[in-house]
Structure 1
Amino acid sequence: MPSPPTTTTAVVTLPFPVSRLQDPPAGLTYNEFREGMDPEVLRTTTFWVTPYTAKLDYQHLIPRMEHLQVIQSQSAGVDDIAPWVPAGTTLCNARGVHDPATAEMGVALILASIRQLPRFVKAQTERVWDSDNAGPSLADRHVVIVGFGSIGQALARRLEGFECTVTGVTRSGRDGSAPMTELPQLLPSADVVVLLTPLNDETHHLVDAAFLARMHDGALLVNLSRGPVVDTDALLAEAGRISAALDVTDPEPLPADHPLWAAPSVLITPHSAGGTTAMLSRVDRLVEAQLARYVAGEPQLNVIQR
């Protein structure tokens, strides 16, 4: 935990104007740094709120920040930052900020895929009345959510009204979920598998050929976590036998000539789940709360254990 800062040493660098905050703590120096700006402003930073969508070279930026005490990410996942954070610097994610938006996207992708909306949109553009009164429904289906943290639980709450069965999966089986060791036994009965797990050494290519082979014909895989959680080549080999709805891909952005674009029964959205109008007010409240704790010398929220 960093010591309470002094007014002569505490420099907060934000990716937006400090005027956006409703009640920023007094006695701090506020700078602004966004993608494309001179990174020299980061040198004296002690508390850094990183940009949300910018692809920054953290490997080279962070070592230049000799006074850095706290990094506050605006994302739930911090796999792009964590490897470069030195000992003694606190790294925090944005747990809770993206719960509503990402859970909404989860519901949207599940419904769009199961209720065949891409098929009907295509039929509309071709002016074809492609009626189907015997299509699948989410009701009575089994949804397995791999990664049952705050976003996974938010998704489960939103699925309650759809009359489906939801099973959460975590590494240890906390919060009423099943432990990860039971996932292989759950997959054959899963009609929908939603990925919301962090990306780390344990989850890289978690969804490989063996994982997909356990899913039954017609099942749906939804990836809302990170692209490399799924082995793309393995997914391409199974596309059509199973369906997929992907908000994240590997590689990302997906090149225009990549075969995933044209793979059968695959719906792709461009990593858009978390960034909505619901994000701004929630991230502002989190930043203000973290800065208040920083000034008071209190422990930060959402600390990533490394």
Structure 2
Amino acid sequence: PAYLTTKYFILTRKAGIAQNKLLEELNTIIPVLKEGLEKAKAGGNVTLVSPTPIKVLIDNSHNQYYNSKQMLKLATNIGSELGWEVKGNDEPLTLDLLKEYDLVIIPNPREDITDEEAQAIKEYVKEGGALLILGDWYKYVNTESLNKVVEEFGITFNDDELMDDEKNSGATYFPLVGEFNAHPAMQFLTNENELYYNGDTLEISGNATWLIRGYETSYAVDGSGNVVKEEGSKPIVAAAVEVGKGRIVAYGSSKALSDAYYEHYIDSNWPFVKGVLLWLVKQS
């Protein structure tokens, strides 16, 4: 029939046009490739354009015990597995400084984060920055400084310590954690993972969501030894929230990212940390 002949003609014409376009593109690309090959053979310089790597800052400016020197395996993993650049920082945290980095890690500060620094950190996140902020157990955790940064976004660091009499790495105050939420940051974790932990618990509200909880057998105590979270309450130890254009993850343990205990802490936590880092910079 005539309509089939017409349809065949149209399809053939479209195929011919597509073929001509492909030939035009190849004629453009082939000379460039040929030139590069000739330069390589002659020992000339061939410039390869690669994506700019993600830049990570680890804050050392608040006299942190767990600073970048205590997190060498973390920096190595970030470089080798993600191809990112990691740098320790000893300068006060300003918005201009923070904006030079895609992701900022703040371990538990032993010296206070100033009001000006806290405001700069919050502005940095709202404008699209990524923040991983870490706590510690009640003797050392600087809840005032940490909460100055994250509390208004629905995350609170508690002045306590997670304990577990049954699931631990040798002592009640060295609990293991392994209750994981279904969240993009948890992509490398399975129910088989158990993470070494030593730190405080968190509270969440608003848009914040929990990432890791303690087991049924875990509980929390304060500095006087009082049980402030009972067994069965599954205290939260990690949480995430989106703020403006940026993202925050809070984790109650700085030690968890460190080289402590023959690197068992960072080794067990790396699947979690890796997923968190990728989520924070919106690559997951």
Q: Higher Cα Rg: structure 1 or 2?
A: 2
TM-score higher than 0.5 here?
A: no
TM-score w.r.t. the length of structure 1 is 0.31
TM-score w.r.t. the length of structure 2 is 0.33
